[in-house]
Amino acid sequence: MLGQMMETPLLVTSVLERARRFFPRSEIVTRSAAGELSRLSYADFYKRTARLAGALARLGVVRGDRVATLCWNHHRHLEAYFGIPSMGAVLHTLNLRLHPSELSFIARSAEDKVVIVDRSLLPLYQKFAADVPSIRHVIVVPDDGATPPDLLDYETLLAAERDDFAWPPLDERSAAGICFTSGTTGNPKGVVYSHRSTVLHTMVSCMTDTLALSEGDVVMPVVPMFHANAWGLPYSAVAVGARVVMPGPRLDAESLTTLMATEKVTLAAGVPTIWLGILALLDAAPKRFDLSSIRSMVIGGSAAPPSMIEGFQSRHKLHVTHAWGMTETSPLGSLARIKRSLDAADPAAQLGLRSTQGYAVTLIDQRHVADDGRVLPWDGSTMGELEVRGPFVASGYLGGAGADRFTQDGWFKTGDVVTIDAEGYIRITDRSKDVIKSGGEWISSVALENALMSHPAVLEAAVFAGRHPKWDERPLAAIVLKPGHSATKAELTAHLESRVAKFWLPDDYLFMAQIPRTSTGKFLKSKLRDDHGDMLMGR
């Protein structure tokens, strides 16, 4: 017997229409490169989104065409997020921190037809555009000044269109967006989201036990809109009618903290390197900012050190929500929420749970497996590769790349080495490419970093494998000290001795002004390995 319910397709268009009908007075606040704030009501946002769709159709964009964006976080980028998929085209977010050669590879692979680019990023665009033969039009967003006269201007195009685009009926399985993995561990690969996966991810993100988004929230995605869809926040915030605060290109701790305070942000999201800077700023001047409106700072992308989670909580009464995800998982995969049955645990145990990667969000399944494919027990100590599956997990990559990441029985291999405890809490010990293999034993770079970052003088720590003549690999630690603080190698070793096994102790420390970062703000360990990986060989 079949159910007798409507098979209404799950479309991004429905999220947009709902925003128009119910929340016309909600706002999108954008801060420009110059630091000025502009405010756009959802009513006007909707009209502009319809106009964008009209303009793209007039330029010849048809169903399935790829329309790329090369933009910071601002309201026009949000218009693209909704207008492009709702008209049946495919939003392809380009990562503005990549090298032009990577961008041309990515834009060529996606066969982008139109590119919407911030004026401030035109010099970058011009470095790769000629290598992408599929591009027919470039539309310039005048983010920091007027569009050059020989190029299409975003605002001029919108001004010529109507407010009421006739959104086409679409198959919910049709592509809505493409985002490439940022290539931290290999060539970037394209993940193709569908309308259905996007809507399901949006609903799950909003759930109370996920991010608990509501109309009363003020949501600030610090995570760039080119990094795994800004973790879905552009869709989930608009779905509930929240106020959205777009920080534009100014992502330094001072600018972000000021914006959170003045706009009374309730939920902000970004990678740990962003939050480490904000914590240092707050520690230096605890009374300077009023952040009492914040109910959750979502941290993910790489491991949030327990010392940071605890520091925000105990010194500034700010709650961190630690989440795990990947471009391939839309991206929210798991979240470190404390279950009611564990609520009574002592503060140290609670911190321990909150610094895990949590357990899978609704609709996502998790398991971890041994090298030979054996599914491993949830005992909190057996390490294996995390695998996930669910309706917003990729089933393949654009063009058939990376087929070895998908198992015969329908799981996606994440490349993350984890343990899972009896309650389902995942603890990432490493990415498989970063784990340090010393004389046949595995050393967790994440655990060492967390221990180092609990030292009061350490701002940032990245632990990576140095090649070693006897042990194959030994840990090396790159350290950035807090301004005005000092610590010697011997002091750091003494700090670690009480926290990790003796054979885990780094063989050496490198004090740096900054640790190299990936295009999405994570520590770039491959560069550390390339530059310093041989330093133990002659010893």
Q: What angle do CA 102, 88, 100 make, to 5 degrees?
A: 10
Q: Which stretch binds ligand ADP (CB under 6 A): 42-50, 296-304, 370-378, 487-495?
A: 296-304
Q: Does 236 bind ligand ADP (CB under 6 A)?
A: no
How far apart are CB 467 and ligand ADP at their closest, in Å? 23
Strands of 412-420's sheet in order across? 365-369, 384-389, 412-420, 426-431
Q: How many CB atoms lie within 10 A of CB 60?
A: 11
Nearer to ligand ADP, 301 or 390 (CB): 301
Q: Does 326 bind ligand ADP (CB under 6 A)?
A: yes
Tokens of 94: 């380009």
Nearer to ligand ADP, 26 or 526 (CB): 526
Give the Cα separation of 114 and 203 in Å (integer): 30
**Helix or strand (DSSP H, E) at 524:** none
Is 127 catalytic? The answer is no
85, 88, 177, 183: residue in contact with ligand ADP (rule CB under 6 A): 183
**In sequence order, what E strands does 181-331 have?**
190-194, 218-221, 243-246, 267-270, 296-299, 320-325
Is 13 catalytic? The answer is no
Q: Does 303 bind ligand ADP (CB under 6 A)?
A: yes
Tokens of 60: 């010849």
Is 184 catalytic? The answer is no
Q: Does 416 bind ligand ADP (CB under 6 A)?
A: yes
Q: Does 302 bind ligand ADP (CB under 6 A)?
A: yes
Please, are residues 492 and 477 in contact by the beta-carbon 8 Å criterion? yes
Q: Does 263 bind ligand ADP (CB under 6 A)?
A: no
| 467, burial (CB in 10 Å: exposed 0-12, middle 13-18, buried 19+) | middle
DSSP-derived secondary structure letter, 371: T
Nearer to ligand ADP, 157 or 269 (CB): 269
Stretch 431-470: interaction string toward ligand ADP, x if CB under 6 A: x---------------------------------------
Is 156 catalytic? The answer is no
Instruction: Scan residues 350-369 and list those touching ligand ADP (CB under 6 A).
Output: 357
DSSP string, 8-72: ----HHHHHHHHHHH-TT-EEEEE-TTS-EEEEEHHHHHHHHHHHHHHHHHTT--TT-EEEEE--
Q: Does 93 bind ligand ADP (CB under 6 A)?
A: no
Number of residues that bind ligand ADP (CB under 6 A): 24
| C-alpha separations of 333 from 91, 210, 267, 319, 327 in Å | 22, 10, 18, 20, 10
Q: Which stretch binds ligand ADP (CB under 6 A): 8-16, 200-208, 319-327, 494-502?
A: 319-327
How far apart are CB 299 and ligand ADP at their closest, in Å? 7
Q: Which stretch binds ligand ADP (CB under 6 A): 183-191, 194-202, 288-296, 393-401?
A: 183-191
Could you give the residue numbers annotated as active site? 181, 328, 437, 442
